[in-house]
Copies of this chain bind each other. A is one copy, B any other.
């Protein structure tokens, strides 16, 4: 079967498996992968603007609006006006946002430990390294 030796095919199948397990672990009202990623950037990056965040996530500004809306709706961040540039909205995490991020990160680690339990530490590091190498050539 030609597909079995294609990286793209195996990458997609593995991606779907991880995503399904992610959702199972995070539950029905948990943060979706993209919302969790966005929250991570917001918590870890001071003075982040929406355009910044969209670029870092590799999506369009327009697509980010719904994500930020959700995080704001959950009370996990605030859009704060920036006097130096009145076009932008800086994204500032709330205390609840930081807490939710830390709790979600624990769940995500549990999920990855579970779904990747057949990979030892060396293999997992290898996998990360190889995926990053792909990212570097394509971004």
Q: Which A residues contact B (CB, under 8 angstroms)?
A: 1-22, 33, 37, 40-41, 44, 58, 105, 108, 111-112, 115-119, 123-124, 126-128, 130-139
Contacts and interface: CB of A to CB of B under 8 A. Distances in A.
Given A118-B137, A119-B133, A22 B37 contact: no
Contact of A128 (B10, B17, B136): B10
Contacts of A139: 13, 17
Q: Work out how many copies of this chain go into the complex.
A: 2
A48 B84 CA distance: 64
B128 A116 contact: no
Contact of A117 (B1, B108, B137): B137
Contacts of A126: 126, 130
Contact of A130 (B1, B17, B127): B127
A33 to B, nearest CB: 7
A126 B17 CA distance: 19
A111 B138 CA distance: 12
Contacts of A15: 11-12, 15
